Chain A
Amino acid sequence: MNPGLPLYARSRALPQTLAALAATTGFAVWAAGALDAYLDPGRRVPVVALAPLLAAAVIGASLRSDSDELDRTAVRPWWPRRLAHLLALTALASAVLPVAVAGHAETFGAPAMIRNILGCVGIVALAAVVLGARLSWLPAFGYVSAAYLASSGARGRAATVWAWPVQPGAQPGAWAAALAAFALGTALYAVRGARPGG
């Protein structure tokens, strides 16, 4: 293995990121168990909405580079590394977090969890480009909180799109919104990188 890769991993705090993702998964498993949601999967909504948010915030923190000015003089283009970094962490979160919400795939099970991870990571990546990695969690936190609080009385097709973090797993509008956020955020982050100094 190229000795530069471990240095890259440490420069982006990847060991700490993996530990934080493991802790988030443990917390989600504990929280989902404590909700006693076997008969009413709707009780899982807080876990399905908030655990992906926490995981995305952790991933967002790893997008920071302290040596941005020097990194820009790298011989290889950065976009493949940035893309691989973001996709690998998203895939890892998508593989481990759904363990907390096994079953009930049509409502608030693994598909809803994965969809929310994709959506939250997309917003966080977009925010890293605009605001910088340090504050990248903030817009996703605001959006998911607002959707969670405002969605209880919302009805209609539009609500299935804008309130995607709290929609059942089989809701196509919610998937479309989350996938669009993921595609946009990932593409922009890969091309532009996180805003320097943020």
Chain B
Amino acid sequence: MSVRVTGLCVRHRRTVALDSVDLELGAGVHGLLGPNGAGKTSLIRVLATVGRPSAGRVELLGRNSDSPRERSGIRGRLGYLPQEFGFYPAFTVREFVAYVAWLKEVPADRVPAAVERALRRVGLADRADAKMRTLSGGMIRRVGIAQAVVNDPSLLLLDEPTAGLDPEQRVEFRELLRELGTSATVVVSTHLVEDVAAACTEVTLLDEGRIAYRGTPAALTRLGETSDGPGDHPIERGYTAALRAHRARGVTDARETV
């Protein structure tokens, strides 16, 4: 297992972002779904070794992320696209991706080839020498994906990767996800259920800091086919049905406790 999370809690001041989450993820593409504030970004940030857990154990790529020495080893094999990644407007696309390769300790002699490959993968090879400030929102997002894959990560964490991409780019991105998922563990946080249906091998649904559902996109779709909840597509109906079932269980549990 590339990701093994036990009893993970994350608190932001008085808010509980993640509440006793247990999760194991292996190779493949894992979709992380949930409403706003469900804890998706908090989970991705902890897996990226950026956010600190309040409690629990996080083991990534067989190493304990709590140990500074092991954390360095994890980070070299980790790719991360934050929801909003900052960039340097005066850098060219090539320079920005090379900067992240330097952060990831990619050997200096391999950086040019790694940058070229990453840019080719996101269809930006022809814009390698363009300044970051001249790019559109969708292109900047693709640069973000390129920097996340520049070190050929074993664990790739993508927070809202398709935001700002046009339909054709999204289709190409799903293809890239499927390719990456054959050798790496890819975790994709998204609001777009159709991206999960098309590209993910597993789906995890979060609600109010807890895991509401785990299964395959096909199982979530089947759930939607047998439910009459809102949604234009079976997987959307499955999403709302799973969420409502989880919330109903929560209400029942609360009543039993009282």
Residues of A within 8 A of B (CB): 2-5, 7-8, 10-11, 65-77
Contact = CB atoms under 8 A, between A and B. Distances in A.
Contacts of B103: 4, 70-71, 73-75
Contacts of B72: 75-77
A8 B50 contact: no
B86 A68 contact: yes
A85 B86 CA distance: 21
Interface string B69-102: 0001001101010101111101100010011111
Interface in B102-123: 102-105, 108, 111
Nearest to A69: B82
B68 A77 contact: yes
Nearest to A71: B103
Given A7-B91, A74-B104, A69 B99 contact: no
Contacts of B87: 66-67
B75 A73 contact: yes
6 contacts: A3-B98, A7-B98, A11-B91, A65-B86, A69-B85, A74-B75
B102 A10 contact: no
Contacts of A8: 99, 102
A69 B78 contact: no
A193 to B, nearest CB: 13
B154 interface: no
Contact of A70 (B76, B98, B108, B147): B147
B103 to A, nearest CB: 4
B48 interface: yes
A68 B88 CA distance: 11
B76 A10 contact: no
B190 interface: no
Nearest to B72: A75
A75 B50 contact: no
A43 to B, nearest CB: 42
B105 A69 contact: no
Nearest to A1: B108
Given A73-B49, A73-B50, A74-B75, A11 B88 contact: yes
Contact of B108 (A3, A11, A69): A3
